[in-house]
Chain A
Amino acid sequence: MATGNTLRGSMMAWTCPGTSERAPLRARLNRALAQVPAWPLYPLSVLPVAWLFWQGATGRIGIEPVEAVEHRLGLWALWLLLAGLAVTPLRRFAGINLMRFRRAIGLTAFFYLCCHVLTWAVLDVQGLAAAWADIVKRPYVTIGMAGLLLLVPLALTSWNGAIRRMGGAAWRRLHRLVYPAVLLGAVHFVMLRKGWQLEPMVYLALAALLIGMRTIPRDRQKAARR
């Protein structure tokens, strides 16, 4: 004969499969993640770029190597920015803690964006005058460049000393600039495609969703969890 408690337990297991195992699994995952050092991400992040440029220079990356390298760098940066934006919601709503890797994710995104802009300026439009003319004249370039500029102070204050000097609250306020920066990047992608294409729209929607999740008030979140 089932007591009230075991009945409730089996009901829980039946209505929310996996509930009973999820907490230990999550704890185990977080414990495992805590063992992974973050520093190797920095040297590792250089490898894909080196690989990409090598492929471009030796004619191993499609028929139009400049376009291929430039677009891929931009896309990778957008992926990383979205991944960086996902860290907080993942911790808040799924209990998975990737906070230790967020700085490396953000700095890698910034590094890829710098490579993206350099490829564009040197190999694509070929010249600082032409690049500047495009920045001033072409809205999608202006928007992309504005997004990158917003990330510059974030990259400059990404070390522990900067956080200490600024104080946590001021640092967090400054780093909210990542929200408009990612949105500008996604809009830049939507604008440079011809017609209304699905792929860039998906990224824009994802960015909006990840930013929007931050506005969910804490108590509602608790209610949702219960």
Chain B
Amino acid sequence: MRFRPDLGWADVTPRADFMNRRQLIGGAAALAGLGAGLPAAALDAAPSRYSTDEAPNTLEQISGYCNFYEFGTGKEDPARHAGQMTVDPWSVKIDGLVERPGSYDLADLVKGQSLEERIYRLRCVEAWSMVVPWIGFELSGLLTRVGVKPSAKYVAFETLYRPEEMPGTRRPVIPWPYVEGLRLDEAMNPLAILATGLYGEEMPKPNGAPIRLVVPWKYGFKSIKSIVRITLTEEQPPATWNIVNPREYGFYSNVNPEVDHPRWSQASERRVGGGFFAAKIPTRMFNGYGEYVAGLYDGMDLSRNF
């Protein structure tokens, strides 16, 4: 066979074919001991000072227990049904009050952004929590690149809505597509990232492949998944759960142990993976990220702006 200089991605052996993850992890651990410099996984990411040193949940827990209503309301539904979602090709429409609007291909969107591993706590509004080793880049980097016009005050996000691949959207459990929003200064905070992977690999589909928001000081549902559109606006954009039930879900939805959900206490949380007899742990203001984000809400009554 002749050498072909025109090899493309189509010629690459799929990663799953030459390595499976368990072997990889075991192998990487063994190699680390020998000091071999094998790239550990698909995504190279620098460590971050924003990472927690708490033990991350396993990939099985993170992808096997989550909410992604587009694939069903059960916690196991995303793992069961998200496989059918096409994530390649993927483009994100960026519009509204930006200098360079357009439809950006995923590769183009990530280009020039430095990937970091951010091990964040995730606190769901349903009073459970996890620790997730996200891989992503700061949202502010993308916003700076597309150029935010001075009149913009908010960022709106939209999830993919494709009923033929998303069985959960065939019923009106919540209005589709799923939408979320941040105030511009929240979006520019260095904690706010667009994540494209976790555990060193591309984002698993149940967790919002191929690109999702992660805002760790807010309840999980603010961290919108599988983003297809980002719009800069002057007015506060709609947020799905806030539309569905404004009494229970505010626009801000910052983690706050002092403001209960009308149907349950937010004072404590169950760390997923603790098992049958694990004690609940106290929930922290802003999910423990107050030193970075409390300033965003100076002078605001957080029991009113919940």
Q: Chain A: residues with CB nearer than 8 A to chain B?
A: 56-57, 59, 62-67, 69, 123, 125-126, 130, 133-134, 137-140, 191-198
Contact = CB atoms under 8 A, between A and B. Distances in A.
A192 B270 contact: no
Contact of B280 (A57, A126, A138): A126
Given A126-B279, A193-B73, A139 B270 contact: no
Given A57-B277, A62-B65, 12 more contacts: A59-B276, A62-B76, A63-B64, A64-B65, A64-B270, A130-B265, A133-B265, A137-B260, A193-B73, A194-B126, A195-B173, A198-B171
Interface string B254-279: 00000010111100001011011101
Given A195-B69, A195-B244, A65 B265 contact: no
A198 B75 CA distance: 16
Contacts of A198: 171, 173
A69 B277 CA distance: 12
A137 B267 CA distance: 14
Residue of A66, A192, A195, A197 with highest tally of chain B CB at under 10 A: A195
Interface residues of B, number: 29
Nearest to A57: B276
B301 interface: no
B300 to A, nearest CB: 25
A138 B75 CA distance: 23
Contacts of A57: 276-277
B270 A66 contact: yes
Contact of B263 (A56, A66, A191, A197): A191
Contact of B65 (A63, A130, A133, A193): A63
B263 A63 contact: no
Contacts of A134: 264-265
A196 B60 CA distance: 28
B172 interface: yes
Nearest to B267: A130
Interface string B268-303: 001011011101100000000000000000000000
B305 interface: no
B275 A59 contact: yes
A66 B280 CA distance: 12
B263 A139 contact: yes
A124 to B, nearest CB: 8
Contacts of B126: 194
Contacts of A63: 60-61, 64-65, 75, 272-273
Nearest to B76: A62
A197 B168 CA distance: 11
B24 interface: no
A66 B64 contact: no
Closest 10 CB pairs of A and B: A63-B65, A195-B173, A65-B276, A56-B276, A195-B174, A57-B276, A63-B61, A63-B64, A138-B263, A197-B73
A64 B76 CA distance: 11
14 contacts: A59-B275, A63-B65, A63-B272, A64-B272, A65-B276, A126-B279, A134-B264, A137-B260, A138-B262, A138-B263, A138-B264, A194-B73, A195-B173, A197-B173
A123 B241 CA distance: 28
B90 interface: no
Contacts of B264: 134, 138
A187 to B, nearest CB: 13
Contacts of B61: 63
Contacts of B260: 137
A43 to B, nearest CB: 25
A123 B277 CA distance: 6
A65 B275 CA distance: 6
Interface string B65-80: 1000100010110000
Contacts of B172: 196
A66 B127 CA distance: 13
B75 A64 contact: yes
Contacts of B275: 59, 65
